[in-house]
Amino acid sequence: MAWRWQYSISLNPVNRQHPLFQTAISGCCLNQPPYGLPGTIKHENGFPMSTDRFENSPVSDALESFRARFFPDAALVQWHSWKWQLQHRIDTVKKLRRILELTESESAAFHHGWSKIPFAITPYYMGVVTTMNSDSALRKSMVPTAAEFQVNPGESRDPLVEEKQSPVPAIVHRYPDRVLFLTTHQCAVYCRYCTRARIFSREAPALSRARHWKEGLAYIAATKSIREVIVSGGDPLILANDSLKGLLTELRKISHVQIIRLGTKIPVALPQRITDDLLGMLRSFHPLILSLHVIHPDELTREAAFAIERLADAGIVIGSQTVLLKTINDSTSVIQKLMENLLRLRVRPYALFQCDPILGSDHFRTSLDKGIEIIEDLRRQTSGYAIPHFIADPPGGKVTLAPNTIVAKTLSGYRLKNWRGEEIEYPDPSSGEP
């Protein structure tokens, strides 16, 4: 049977021909030829073709130059393969030195003899780090430095005390109605500030899919209060389609599980993974929520925007999770640009997390006042839809932090502070009642 190929532009709330959408998103020009409008190649009957590659992705000019310079033997079809990307990760200091001139602190980290977190960066994301990010912010989040080995008071290998709330090895049960399902210890790239750095250590027990997944599923099935499962790791989207499908199928068999959430950085670190095959599989498990780990607007390249759009077109609800990091994104301008651009891509800005005090994290952590200041600034400067919750995560559970808008209780109601910082009187019907 002969197929007729065509671009299919989905009927969704975003008109991709609208000037606002075609405006550059932090280095990504979505209307740049020869790729034109981002869309999914479909059969004449409307169903996606079967492919294990990132078909018809736009290519950022800077990343194409990076590929030609550092991976000249990689054809474009290989570059668009997520498996090729994983097989060619920069995961040694020798490979890294071929691309970057290391600082003294970075060199010292590699010669320390051990690391709490593995080092690996996909070729694509290394291109983002080196060509799309002029202030080296993303480099600081990916390349280890000597500061990782300086342990300070208050830091812990398990700051959320998850191990004490783990009834079986693959499950963390901190809240009555939801659990965290740790599916893998693998990621496409390894963030130096990772909350679960402990699972990558040499002392950490291996995670067995045959045994630990089975025990995790049995625990969820037996615990009727659980209505939401957060599939995490590691990064669950690094799993093969069959493995991920098998897990999601078993979760959907449990009648009291209403929501499945996937925690991932893949759409911005390895957008080539968002293939037609993956999308076709995921759309069969709705309602499905994807928590996207993104920390900087420079991560929203043309390739990442294309991947995120495809996920949204597949009916997946996407919310963002951003960690507030010193000298990386701890300014109102950076966070505002990130949140507004996410919103344009149909990603709901959800959480701005205070960096957890893992061992050797002091150089990443800001004060709580800095996060509250950013939220207060955002309230004055942007839409409420673009304002995430600022969240700290102490051992007892998450705490949402916000600027204090209630100045005082008065005889007639309350004195409040509005978005301009002005104090205003507001009547309360219950005031004055006995």
Q: Which residues are catalytic?
A: 174-175, 178, 187, 191, 194, 196, 356, 393, 398
Using an 8 Å Cβ cutoff, are 407 and 417 in contact?
Answer: yes
Separation in Å, CA 146 to CA 113, 151, 356: 11, 11, 19
Separation in Å, CA 363 to CA 162, 309, 326: 23, 34, 7
Which residues are registered as beta bridge partners of 90?
121
The H or E element spanning position 217 is helix 214-222
Separation in Å, CA 234 to CA 41, 140, 204, 247, 311: 31, 20, 13, 15, 20
- Integer Cα distance of 98 and 316 in angstroms: 39
Q: Which two tokens stand for residue 31?
A: 């209307």
**Strands (DSSP E) found in 132-250:** 171-175, 178-182, 228-232
* Whole-angstrom Cα Rg for the chain: 23
